[in-house]
């Protein structure tokens, strides 16, 4: 079993034991059990009946909070997105430089770290096949906030004359495709087939992100001070 799969199963089992239902906390218990089940067996294995069984309640009890599986998984996605935003905030808080490129790198690294440690959260949010993304106000707002952070940093980089590409939307989409693709390769266990040892995967992802960011920058003219 790969490290990623082992981590996923281990996290799922831990969540099952840690999220036993207590009176008055049913909604949170159901969310935790749905996440644990998805981690163990995949999104398709999640059913309201099985989640109820794991939470120790009747099959009808979850319907007081969630009318169907999509509503339940959307709530799981909302929790995952909130944790992802906290990851970004923490990464930006650790980045002491005001260099917008370095801060963009911090967001990209936060995405990769979050996906590596939370593969089921990544799967639920990214695939969107099991949730009502468009119908969730909080998911839309959180996603818009992350995009707005990127736009602000790109505008600042452009104002400082750092970028050789004047197309924020193109930069955002390309950057998103890069970190999404790297996370997907990691979770699917594809790096070994490209000759990257497990111990080197994290460094390879960082180097890939740095290559992308370096491609955004103007080549400094002779005599210009070093940005580093």
pLDDT tens per residue, the chain (228 residues)? 444 444 444 444 444 444 455 556 899 999 999 999 998 988 888 999 999 999 999 999 999 999 999 999 999 999 999 999 999 999 999 999 999 999 999 999 999 999 999 999 999 998 888 899 999 999 999 999 999 999 999 999 999 999 998 899 999 999 999 999 999 999 999 999 999 999 999 999 999 999 999 999 987 654 444 444
Give me the pLDDT at residue 30, please.
Answer: 95
Give me the pLDDT at residue 5, please.
Answer: 46
Predicted model pTM: 0.80
Q: Hey, is 23 helix, strand or coil?
A: coil
Q: Is 139 left (phi over 0), alpha (psi -120 to 50) or beta?
A: alpha
Rounded Cα gap, residues 88 and 49, in angstroms: 35
Whether the CB-CB separation of 131 and 71 falls below 8 Å is answered with no
Give me the pLDDT at residue 11, please.
Answer: 46
Rounded Cα gap, residues 210 and 214, in angstroms: 6
Rounded Cα gap, residues 61 and 49, in angstroms: 9
């Amino acid at each position: 079993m790969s490290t990623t799969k082992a981590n996923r199963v281990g996290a799922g089992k831990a969540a099952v034991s840690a999220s036993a239902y207590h009176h008055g906390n049913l909604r949170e218990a159901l969310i935790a059990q749905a996440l644990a089940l998805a981690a163990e067996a995949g999104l398709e294995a999640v059913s309201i009946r099985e989640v109820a069984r794991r939470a120790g309640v009747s099959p009808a009890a979850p319907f007081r909070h969630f009318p169907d599986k999509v509503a339940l998984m959307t709530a799981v996605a909302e929790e995952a997105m909130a944790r992802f935003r906290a990851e970004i905030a923490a990464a930006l808080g650790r980045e002491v430089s005001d260099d917008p490129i370095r801060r963009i790198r911090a967001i990209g690294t936060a995405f990769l770290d979050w996906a590596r440690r939370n593969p089921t959260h990544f799967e639920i949010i990214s695939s969107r096949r099991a949730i009502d993304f468009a119908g969730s106000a909080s998911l839309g707002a959180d996603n818009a906030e992350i995009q707005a952070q990127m736009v602000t940093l790109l505008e600042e980089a452009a104002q400082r004359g750092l970028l050789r590409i004047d197309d924020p939307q193109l930069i955002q989409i390309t950057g998103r495709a890069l970190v999404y693709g790297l996370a997907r390769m990691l979770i699917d266990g594809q790096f070994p087939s490209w000759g990257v040892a497990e111990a080197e995967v994290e460094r390879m992802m960082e180097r890939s992100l740095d290559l992308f960011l370096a491609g955004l920058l103007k080549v400094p003219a002779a005599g210009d001070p070093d940005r580093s």
